Chains A and B, each alone.
Chain A
Amino acid sequence: MNTPNTNKLKPNEPKPFSPQGMLLAAVVLVVGIVVGMPHAPLEIITIFALVLIIGLVANVNLPKLFLRSLIVIPIAGCMAAFAPLRLVTEWSSSGIAAAYAQGAGRVVELILTPWMCVLVMLLLVQLCPEKDLLYALERLHVPRAFTLLLTFMYRYVGVMRTQLTAAHRSLVSRAPSISPRKQVLLYGNLAGAMLIRAHSRGERIHAAMLSRGFTGLLPRSTHQRFGLPDAALVAVAVLLGIAFVLL
């Protein structure tokens, strides 16, 4: 007797917003956050509350989202550290210290802003799968050569990363106490081997695609069009952005 297949793919459920609507809204919001610098505490609370509420409603793994967003803080922190130096009027240790005391708020601002932007973009990725975002880029008239490249990249990034990790692991297990200089040299050879493998793989992939009727264009998916709910979503994002700028 056949058991019911619980993993059977469900037909595409209608979603409230199209991917291009969500992408546009997120980009508008990010631009609003950046242009609206410096931020009042109320704005910062609004953005974090917005991410929290949407995340809870959409059942997003919020701790993971916040943890992933922290990636930007060391990078932003390094760059933000230079900001107070513009305020230095006297190039002595006391002058520099005074500039840092005066510009501490700016440093915090330059760390918080990228963090909020990354949170918005990571939330978008959680709400909208990669393939939908690629479709959204195509609908937004990003050049076809570019979207084609992104589509293939999306397909092969995982494969390449797995192979590279395996090669790296075998390198470490076979030569655990290798000097850093030799390690870097070996990385070059390892990357070269991967390149040649990728080259032959690319040729095989293209031959296989041609045999399956590939004409240079990928088939269009049946996604939603940009509709009234999307227009409303983008309008809300625009209004929020304007509010950030004006406040």
Chain B
Amino acid sequence: MHIPDGMLDPKTFGTLWAGGAGSIGYASWWIRKNLDGSKIVLMAVLAALIFGLQMLNFPIAAGTSGHFAGGALAGILLGAWPACIVMSAVLLVQALFFGDGGITTLGANIVNLGIIAPFVGAFIYELFQRVRSGYASKIAGAFTGAFVAVVVSSAAVALELWASNNAQFFAALGAMTFWHTIIGVGEGIITAGLIAYVAKVRPQLLGDEGALHTKRSLKSICVVLGALALIAAGLSFLASTSPDGLEFVYFDSGVGAEFEEGAHAAAAPMSDYLLPGVGSELLAGIGAGIVGVVLTGALILGLVVVLKRRAGGRDRTGERDRTGGRDRTGEKTKIAKSVEIDE
């Protein structure tokens, strides 16, 4: 998944370099503020371990093999920001000393493997722990987190290749996610195996009292993922003006013309992904992207609040709670309180 030099054009690698460098700067500041010397040494030893673990090749299909990436593992063990630094260090060493991944594409590789993978992995693992804590949940969370992290990172690679005019989007997305779905299973099994072993032998490494564990806040992870989504929306000016494969076939066969007339008659508020009332097409496109992300985020947030309220109103047996989220003593239950705080 390491993108070599020459695969991304200047506007894409420049943007991703800026994003990667900014993230490393923030992560360095975060580490200085939150971790002491012993944890930095520990992180370094773990970075060396992840580097070594990347030698683990496992068979996939048709005589090919994939290798362990370790982004999600680092995110689960260290927390997202320390993992960002660890993975970036691994990627820099690989690019500088081994020619694995490019120099101009280092920013892109850091974003894909050093930011997206640890954040997605840590987020999913944390979600599993919030739903139900326990040994099985740790393993399931680790497997799912690692699997999804690999697939999402590979989709990001496809997006970047497409933004650089070096791939047809759906072809690249299909091929990248197909192979990385298989690689993701291997990655998930290794990560789950490792977490299972650690949970049995040294559970404190995964607990709140652990030497590596830093208190992770879902809110901060959501903020970073949201910021990434906004940046992606802002990059909508990179989008090709040519139709995608489906649109091409649709209009080429003549079926689309009739539909297009109907669509114009319906007058969507932001047809062609352009914000109405903005003169510049570039700004209108970026604005529409950002409005779309904000609306989607608001929709998801609303859904979460509604689901939380429902959960707050039910007891463990699923029965409707008629006490307004209060227990026998009249005190509000923990879930009812958390909903109140969110509100």
Whole-angstrom distance between the Cβ of A157 and the nearest chain B Cβ: 5
Chain B's interface size range is 35 or more
Query: What residues of A have a CB within 8 angstroms of the CB of B211 in the complex?
Result: 199, 203
Contact B175 A82 (CB under 8 A): yes
A interface bracket (residues with beta carbon within 8 Å of B):
35 or more
A30 touches B103 (CB 8 A): yes
A148 to B37 alpha-carbon distance, docked (Å): 10
Scan residues 58-101 of chain B and give those whose CB is less than 8 A from a CB of chain A.
Answer: 58-59, 68, 77, 85-86, 88-90, 92-93, 95-100
When distances are taken between beta carbons in the complex, the residues of chain B under 8 Å from A214 are 37
Among listed B3-11, B227-235, B254-262, B293-301, interface-contacting one: B3-11
One digit per residue, 1 when the CB lies within 8 angstroms of any chain A CB and 0 when it does not, for chain B 152-195 equals 00000000010001111001100100000000001001111111
Shortest Cβ distance from B199 into chain A, in angstroms?
Answer: 9
| Residue from A75, A159, A184 having most chain B Cβ neighbours under 10 A | A184
Interface-forming stretch among B40-48, B123-131, B334-342?
Answer: B40-48
User: When the two chains form their complex, are residues B193 and A133 in contact, meaning their CB atoms are under 8 A apart?
Assistant: no
Q: Which of B1-27 contact A (CB under 8 A)?
A: 2-7, 10, 13, 24-25
State how many angstroms separate the Cβ of B195 from the closest Cβ of chain A: 8
A187 to B41, CA, bound (A): 25
Contact between A198 and B6 (Cβ–Cβ < 8 Å)?
A: no
Whole-angstrom CA separation of A193 from B97 in the bound complex:
27
Q: Knowing A88-B168, A145-B32, A196-B198, say if A125 contacts B97 (CB, 8 Å).
A: yes
Instruction: Tell me the B91-143 residues at the A interface (CB within 8 Å).
Output: 92-93, 95-100, 102-104
Q: Does A149 contact B (CB under 8 A)?
A: yes
Tally A-B pairs: CB < 8 A: 249
B205 at the interface (CB under 8 A from A): yes
Are A196 and B93 CB-contacts (below 8 A) given A75-B4, A157-B48? no
Question: In the complex the two chains form, what is the Cα distance from A103 to B10 in whole Å?
Answer: 20
CA distance in complex: A189, B198 (Å): 9
**Residues A188 and B193 in contact, CB atoms below 8 Å apart:** yes
Closest partner residue, chain A, to B26 (CB atom): A143
Which residues A140-180 have CB closer than 8 A to chain B?
143-146, 148-157, 159-161, 163-165, 168, 180
Question: Beyond the given A34-B102, A153-B90, could you list 17 further A-B residue pairs with CB under 8 A, ordered by the A residue number?
Answer: A82-B172, A86-B165, A91-B245, A110-B7, A114-B5, A121-B95, A133-B96, A156-B48, A160-B49, A165-B55, A168-B56, A189-B196, A189-B197, A191-B53, A195-B77, A202-B38, A214-B37
Across chains A and B, which 6 residue pairs bring their CB atoms closest together, nearest first?
A188-B193, A192-B197, A113-B6, A152-B44, A114-B4, A117-B5
